[in-house]
Each structure stands twice: as C-alpha cells, then as structure tokens.
Amino acid sequence: MRVEYQATEDDIIAFARRRYPYRFQNVSRQWHCRSTKYGIIGVAVFLGACLMMLVGGTQLLKHSQLIGILPAIIGGFVLVVFGANLLPSKLEQKLLKQFNERPDKAAPTIAEVSEQGFRLMESSVDRFIDWSAIRHVDETTTLILIEDHQPLSYIIPKRAFASDVDREEFFAFMRSHIPAAPPAE
C-alpha cells in the first residue's frame, strides 16, 4: 500500500502538539495568564481615564458618551484576553520557521507499507524501516504517527488517503505487522 502527500504547517503543529504536549500546555497557560493580566490592566487604565475625564474638571467625556464606549471596552477586553491565545506561540513559530526553511518542503512525500516494512521517500531521504524497528503506531484526528526505536517519528496526514476505508486498511496493516502492538482502541 502506498500514499503520496505533501506535509503542511498544520500537520507539523498537530504532530508537535501530540509529541510534546507538556510544552504546549505550559505555553497555553503562560499565554492565558499574560493576556488576562494585560487585558485587565488595559481595561482598568482605559476605564480610569474615562472616569477621570468624566468626573474631573475637564469633563471631556459626558456620561452618555461613556455609556456608548462600554461595548468597545468590553470588546477590547475580550479581544485581548482571547485573541492572544489564538496567536502562534514561540514554540509554534520556531517549528514553522524550521519547516518553511526546508528546501524540499514543496516536494511530495511517499509512504509505503509492505510485508518487509515501512518506507518513507522524500526528495532528499529514502528511509526503510523494518517492522521489528517500529515501536508504536498511533493516530490523532488528523495524522497517523509512526515511531521507530531511535526514536524518530514520522507522520502521514489522514487527508493523504482517498477514503476512510483506505486509511483504516493502511493503519490496520501497519498495526498487524508491528510486534507486540497494543490493541486498537
């Protein structure tokens, strides 16, 4: 069985999130804390400035104008708190930079399974792995992940398969050839 695909940035990030979940959990928590802190500070400063102008001697802002600005204040807070969490983390940026600097990233990748083992062919690499050297095969919502004894990891996007049936056959074939593979979930 053979599939051909081209890896994308989304594949790389999905793989990294699965392979290194502890690094992404910390990054997410850090971003959330930072964005919440800055969001609260920003809203507090803006509200303070509005109240000072309203109550102070200058009265640059009237009460009705302040009521009109409240949706913008709330929207700004929501944008800062939740928008920062949508930005790529430094780890994601680093991974994407490494991926985008690869000269062969536009070249197709071919993954092939046979009775002898697993073969991954890229423009610069032709790697064959005997079934006895593969430690683990798993799947996520978007990827099939293969890990060998070194441990190197290989990904095959599920979109590379023509149908779900083809993907399930490929995955079942791999699992059936790996020694002491854990039972399918």
Who has greater pLDDT, 106 or 168?
168
Q: Quick one: tokens of 9?
A: 């940035």
Q: What is the pLDDT of residues 113-142, one digit of tens each?
A: 999 999 999 888 889 999 999 988 888 889
pLDDT of 46 reads 67
- CATH 2.30.29 in the chain is located at 2-6+104-177
Q: What is the pLDDT of residues 42-76, one digit of tens each?
A: 666 666 666 665 555 455 555 556 556 666 666 66
- φ, ψ of residue 3 to 5 degrees: the values are -130, 150
Closest CA to 123 of 1, 6, 16: 6
So what CATH class is 2-6+104-177? mainly beta
Rounded to two decimals, the pTM is 0.61
Instruction: With beta carbons less than 8 A apart as the criterion, state whether 178 and 134 touch.
Output: yes
Q: Using CA atoms, how far apart are residues 113 and 61, in angstroms rounded to an integer?
A: 71
Q: Using CA atoms, how far apart are residues 36 and 159, in angstroms rounded to an integer?
A: 36
Q: Using CA atoms, how far apart are residues 13 and 93, in angstroms rounded to an integer?
A: 10
